[in-house]
Amino acid sequence: MKNLCVVATFLVIAWLCACSKGDERVIQHKLGDAEIVTAVKAKLAADEGLRTVTDVHVTASNGVVTLAGEVTDPHESAKAEELTRSVHGVAQVNNELHVEIASRDNDREERSRKVPAGRPR
């Protein structure tokens, strides 16, 4: 009976250690992803051409980084992806950035069509 209690105690302790190791790995993975997101955001902010791009959202899961949001031209999208790939720990990049050229051109056209106040068309 004494041996059974010792074996049961050992099994419970081993099980608890295994659970805590798994939890520790999950926590380290979460910290790793958070560090990757921080490093990517820092690189994007430090780049001269991307410094003014404010509508880029960065997320990471298991080293896979997703870039989402809007940029003004395809070169910004490509540059953001290139910089992201250069960050240590990035395994893959999902570039979901949308180029918003048309809306900028439409805004210009709309402004040029506006008639100053007091002038008939």
Predicted TM-score (pTM) above 0.75? no
CATH code of the domain made up of 24-112: 3.30.1340.30
C-alpha–C-alpha distance, residues 10 and 5, integer Å: 8
C-alpha–C-alpha distance, residues 22 and 71, integer Å: 39
- The per-residue pLDDT for range 77-120, each reduced to its tens digit, is 999 999 999 998 899 999 999 988 755 555 555 555 555 555 55
- The per-residue pLDDT for range 25-64, each reduced to its tens digit, is 554 555 588 999 999 999 988 888 777 777 889 999 999 9
